[in-house]
């Protein structure tokens, strides 16, 4: 099979071929196939390493749905507060950032006390911001471990 090395200047479409090194040696596949075979690797190449450029609509949008199915924990980490959630008081799913920003106390109660930590991933920095706001606004609702977290951050 022909070799298609990564071209950092090219914007890849789903039908374009790309050769990547695998444990068994170089593998050549269409981008659409790579999205199925190794969506996390492709996402990292695009977002973290910034060595692969792809068409937003044709490649990146489908990649996100593939990530959601292939590796939900990774998907949650990269989505963070952009995750859509069922939140009390909203008639439909809402981006987690909205209650996080507009009603930190309700979000804290839902996330921490409602045991929804597994639904929305908050980095330590976002946890600190949330816990700090809640400790100023309504310290009585906070768990001891979160008060300690703010003190030791």
- pLDDT given at position 115: 85
Q: How far is CA 53 from the centre of its chain?
A: 19
The reported pLDDT for the residue numbered 107 is 97
- Residue 114 pLDDT: 85
Average confidence (pLDDT) over 127-134? 97
CA distance 77 to 83: 10
Helices (H), 1-153: 31-37, 39-43, 61-70, 72-79, 97-102, 104-108, 124-137, 144-152
67-89 mean pLDDT:
92
What confidence score (pLDDT) does residue 32 get?
97
Instruction: Give 152's DSSP letter.
Output: H
Please tell me the predicted confidence (pLDDT) of residue 39: 97
**What predicted TM-score, i.e. pTM, was given to this entire model?**
0.75
pLDDT-derived band at 113, boundaries 50, 70, 90: confident
pLDDT in tens, 20-74: 999 999 999 999 999 999 999 999 999 999 999 999 999 999 998 899 899 989 9
Q: Which pLDDT score, from 0 to 100, does residue 101 have?
A: 97
91-104 average pLDDT score: 96
Percent share of the chain, pLDDT over 70: 99
pLDDT at 1 over 80: no
Contact in structure between 128 and 149 (CB atoms under 8 Å): yes
How far apart, in whole angstroms, are the C-alpha atoms of residue 16 and residue 32? 8
Residues 6+ positions from 52 with CB-CB distance below 8 Å: 6, 8, 12, 18, 42, 45, 46
Among candidates 51, 41, 48, 49, which has minimal Cα distance to 21? 41
């Amino acid at each position: 099979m022909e070799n298609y090395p990564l071209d950092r200047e090219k914007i890849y479409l789903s039908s374009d071929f790309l050769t990547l090194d695998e444990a068994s040696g170089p593998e050549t596949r269409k981008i659409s196939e790579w999205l199925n075979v190794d969506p996390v690797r492709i996402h990292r190449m695009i977002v973290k390493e910034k060595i692969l450029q792809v068409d937003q609509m044709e490649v990146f949008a489908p990649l996100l749905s593939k990530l959601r199915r292939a590796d939900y924990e990774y998907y949650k980490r990269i989505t963070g507060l952009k995750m859509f959630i069922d939140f009390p008081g909203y008639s439909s799913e809402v981006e987690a950032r909205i209650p996080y920003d507009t009603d930190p106390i309700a979000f804290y109660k839902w996330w921490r006390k409602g045991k929804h930590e597994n639904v929305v991933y908050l980095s330590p920095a976002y946890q600190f911001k949330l816990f700090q706001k809640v400790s100023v606004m309504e310290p009585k609702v906070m768990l001891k471990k979160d008060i300690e977290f703010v003190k030791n951050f």
